[in-house]
Each structure stands twice: as C-alpha cells, then as structure tokens.
Amino acid sequence: MALTGLQIQKLLPKTNCKECGSSTCLAFAMRLAAKKAELSECPYVSEEARAVLSAFSEPPIRTVTIGPEARPLATGGETVLFRHEKTFVNQTGIGVAVADTLEGSELEQRLKAFRAYRFERAGETLRPDLVSVAYESGTVDRLLMTLERVAALWDRSIAVRSDDATALQAAAAKLRGRRIVLASATPATIDQLGAVAKETGSALAVAADHFNDLYTAVEKLRQNDFKEIFLELRADSLCEHYQNRALLRRAALKSGIKALGYPTIQFINTGNPVDDAIAAGMEVTRYGSLVVLPDFDPAAWVSLLALRQNIYTDPQKPIQVEPKVYSVGEPTERSPVFVTTNFSLTYFIVSGEIENAGLSAWLAIPECEGMSVLTAWAAGKFSGAKIGSFVKESGLEQQTKNRTIVIPGYVAQVSGELEEALPGWQVIVGPQEAGDIEGFVKNVLKS
Ligand code: SF4
C-alpha cells in the first residue's frame, strides 16, 4: 500500500513540534512517503496511526530472521531492484548441506572444518552462515540424532530439508526455539507444516513449481497470520531460475504482491562443483536470500564470500579505513613512507603487497572519502598539496628521517606539487598496480 505525504500527515499529531528533526508534520510525512525517515522518529504517533503506518513502512520484502538469538541471521528486507538505487540490505546467507546418513566422526569433521572457515577481507571477517541437514536416512530417529550433533557443533543457523512432513515436524520439535528453517512445505503439506512452524518458532520454506501455486500456498500461511516464510520457486534450468528471481522481486517491489514479498531459499546440486559455484554466485548477484551448496569447497567459498561482500556493500558509502598513518611491519625512522587513499580495498591490497615484499614501511592514508586513487585525484582529494598537508599534520616528519615518500604510479602528475609541499623529501613515483610493489621494492627501494 502506497500512501502519499498528505495521507500520512492526516495520521500524524499535527503539532509541528519538530522533535523528529523536520520543521513540520507535513515535512516529516513527505520524508516518510519517500522512505527517507523512520516512523520511530516521531515519539507522538498514536497506536492506531502506528498500526496503519507501520504496515506502510514495512519493506516490500519481509525481513525474516533465523538462527539462535545470540547469532541471528536476517534475510530479506530488501527495498530496491538494483543496488545502485540505494543498497541491498541483508546479504545472502550461504550454507552447506550435510546428510543425516553421515557417520558421526565424518559429520563432526565436516562441521568443525566448516565452523573454522573464515578469512579477512577489506577489514571484515567473512564466514559461512548455515548448515542444512538433509533427511536421507529414512529413519526419523537418525535425523534427530544428527540434528542433535549439528546443534551442538554449529552455533549458527540450521535448516532441515525433507519432503516428509512427519520428519520435518519431529525436527522442528527437536530444535524448538532455535528458529530453524523447515524446507520445504508443498501445497499438499502447507497446512500441517504451517501449524508446526508457528508452534515451534521455526521458519518455513514453501516450495512450488509455478508462481500460482506458490502464491496460493503463501496466502494460506498469511491468512493464518504466519509470516516467517521463505520462497522456493523451482525451475528446470538456471536460465528459468534467473528469470524467476527477477519476476519475484518485481512482483513484490513494483506490483506490491505481498504473498511474493518474502526472502528466498535455494538448494543447489547440479552434480558439478563448478556449476554449483556458478549457480550460487548467481543467487548472490540476483536476489538470493539463502543458498545451500552440496559441498564445502574452500576454493569456491572464497570467491562466493568475496562476491557477496562486493554486492552487499552500500554503493553510496564505499568501505573505507580511518585516515591516519599505519605501520606495515615494524617501521623505524629509516623506513620509507607509502601513500594511498582510504578506500578499504586499496588500503588492504597495498599494505599486503608491502608486507609481501618483506619491507617495513609507514603507510600514509589521507582522507579521500573512500575513493580509489584515480577517482580521488579527479575529485581534487588526492592532490600533491593535500598529501603534503596530511603528512605534516600527521606528525610523520618527526617519525621518519628517511624522508622518502612513494606515491601511486597513477598520480605521477602530483609529484612536482608534492615536492613543493614537502621540501627536503624525495618523492618517488611507485608502480600503478599494487601487484608490482614487490618488484618495485626489490628493484628501486632496496637497490
Ligand atoms: S515529532 Fe511528530 S508531532 Fe512533532 S513535528 Fe515531527 S511528526 Fe509532527
């Protein structure tokens, strides 16, 4: 339901008290209509108005949170078709499947490897989110035993996958309160599993082969006031699946179809590890909320998690590091100074390459609003004068007697200006690409 600013204003207190930061209630209403303000910013909204306006201000794709309270995983909550319009909100949760037929020791080994897997990139720790237990044994007791082990060894989100509603019901009871995902209800089991999910505090994936069936099944749940739903629209090919993802997102965002405004879940198993990784990458780029891979292959995971980090970074707020002078290795007063911008990736790559070259150095990072080297230079934020002022204000001149500063090769043109700004310093033009820093250190700095 879309409301205009005037319609919203009629529901506000109309006292123009300004406590929300807007000069009038109408101005606040206009900001709310444009989704540029939160209803909670006005402390005086009546309960009645709040009920109406909350429904209006809900994202078109519902936020569904799963996992234990201590480690929740929020999914959905999206408001745009394309990340450059605003940003994507909750990144794709990525998980791995384990079968309940695995022997205890093998299960334990896999879970421990999965749990330990993580890596640092651009200042963030990237790691997996979900373990999905597949009911393949045909014995509910075996499934429950496996779930018990998984729950003990894995402290994040869990899904249970089966076509057998009785098995899912037992799993939900076993992990009651842990907000697991039951996957999946079909039109035939929707009533039974909807009641089970509601009673046990689980989320429910709804699987269907066609939009109409999916819509009808989700509507049933909604009528029973159950909304912790994941959509699993099955397709015959990757192409059809890709198309369906766009149609689902458009239906929720552009047509306001509430029954299709839920996060998605996808279980991948193409039989080929490379195709699995490609399909999972597609989920990350095209609206997937939860994706489960059949195996844990660190080579594929490193790409997937890095891709996810890139897609879910706010395009209007480049990830940046604090502008200051960083130590790489153990620099002394004899160490050279490198300079680059505070765009996170640039900082981490440059510092990593200096370290790989076995050099200890000072790394000066002036404020460049998170822009890359060339963009910052073009915007006038990485000029010789600006770098010179930063070096003086940072106290670097007292820290080093070496007085050698290396600038990125892409901004060789600022060297003259920098020499004027830093009399007594030797300005060296470094390589254009960070990958060439090692050779540069060997051939130029250490020669
Ligand atoms: S805080 Fe509420 S009542 Fe006050 S001006 Fe803002 S919208 Fe109006």
Residue 393: Cβ within 10 Å count: 10
| Mean pLDDT computed over 351-373 | 94
Block residue for tokens 């195996």: 295
Please report which confidence band the pLDDT of residue 40 belongs to, taking 50, 70 and 90 as the band edges. confident
Q: How far is CA 230 from the centre of its chain?
A: 18
Helix axes 211-223, 190-200, angle to 10 degrees: 50
At 81-116, the pLDDT tens digits run 998 888 899 999 999 999 999 999 999 999 999 999
Return the ligand 1 atom nearest residue 25 CA: 8
Domain ranges of the chain: 5-57, 63-311, 324-445
Predicted local distance difference test score (pLDDT) of residue 446: 72
Whether the per-residue pLDDT at 318 is higher than 80: the answer is: no
Predicted local distance difference test score (pLDDT) of residue 447: 62
100: Cβ contacts below 8 Å, ≥ 6 apart? 133, 134, 135, 136, 137, 142, 143, 145, 146, 147
| Rounded Cα–Cα distance for residues 445 and 442 (Å) | 6
Whether the per-residue pLDDT at 36 is higher than 80: the answer is: no
Predicted local distance difference test score (pLDDT) of residue 1: 55
User: Of 36, 37, 48, nearest to 12 (Cα)?
Assistant: 48
Asked whether the CA dihedral 344, 345, 347, 351 is positive or negative, the reply is positive
Q: Does residue 119's CB lie within 6 angstroms of at least one atom of ligand 1?
A: no
Predicted local distance difference test score (pLDDT) of residue 269: 94
357: Cβ contacts below 8 Å, ≥ 6 apart? 437, 438, 440, 441, 442
Asked whether the CA dihedral 363, 367, 372, 378 is positive or negative, the reply is negative
Determine contact, residues 257/251, Cβ cutoff 8 Å. Answer: yes
Residue to mutate, 6, 8, 17, 23, ligand 1, most ligand atoms under 8 Å from C-beta: 17
DSSP, res 343: B
Cα angle: 425, vertex 431, 434; to 5 degrees: 115
243: Cβ contacts below 8 Å, ≥ 6 apart? 235
CATH architecture of 63-311: Alpha-Beta Barrel (3.20)
| Mean pLDDT computed over 318-331 | 92
Q: Does residue 16's CB lie within 6 angstroms of at least one atom of ligand 1?
A: yes
Ligand 1 centre distance from Cα of residue 13 (Å): 7
Please report which confidence band the pLDDT of residue 315 belongs to, taking 50, 70 and 90 as the band edges. confident
At 121-180, the pLDDT tens digits run 887 899 999 999 999 999 999 999 999 999 999 999 999 999 999 999 999 999 999 999
Q: Does residue 17's CB lie within 6 angstroms of at least one atom of ligand 1?
A: yes
**Residue 338 φ then ψ, to 5°:** -105, 150
Determine contact, residues 387/375, Cβ cutoff 8 Å. Answer: no
| Mean pLDDT computed over 289-302 | 95
Question: Strand 265-267 relative to strand 290-293: parallel, antiparallel, unpaired?
Answer: parallel
Q: What is the largest CA-CA distance in the chain?
A: 80
H/E stretch holding 345 reads helix 344-356
| Mean pLDDT computed over 315-344 | 92
Select the CATH number that applies to the domain covering 324-445 from these four: 3.60.15.10, 3.40.50.11600, 3.40.1780.10, 3.40.50.700. Answer: 3.40.50.11600
- Which residue, by CA, sits nearest to atom 2 of ligand 1? 42
Q: Is 5-57 a CATH 1.10.357.10 domain?
A: no
Torsion-angle region of residue 126: left (phi > 0), alpha (psi -120 to 50) or beta? beta
pLDDT greater at residue 4 or residue 280: 280
Q: Does residue 25's CB lie within 6 angstroms of at least one atom of ligand 1?
A: yes
At 264-294, the pLDDT tens digits run 999 999 999 999 999 999 999 999 999 999 9
Count CA atoms within 13 Å of residue 213 on its CB side.
Answer: 14
Q: Does residue 29's CB lie within 6 angstroms of at least one atom of ligand 1?
A: no
Ligand 1 centre distance from Cα of residue 42 (Å): 5
Q: Does residue 296's CB lie within 6 angstroms of at least one atom of ligand 1?
A: no
Predicted local distance difference test score (pLDDT) of residue 4: 86
| Rounded Cα–Cα distance for residues 193 and 147 (Å) | 18
Residues composing the chain: 447
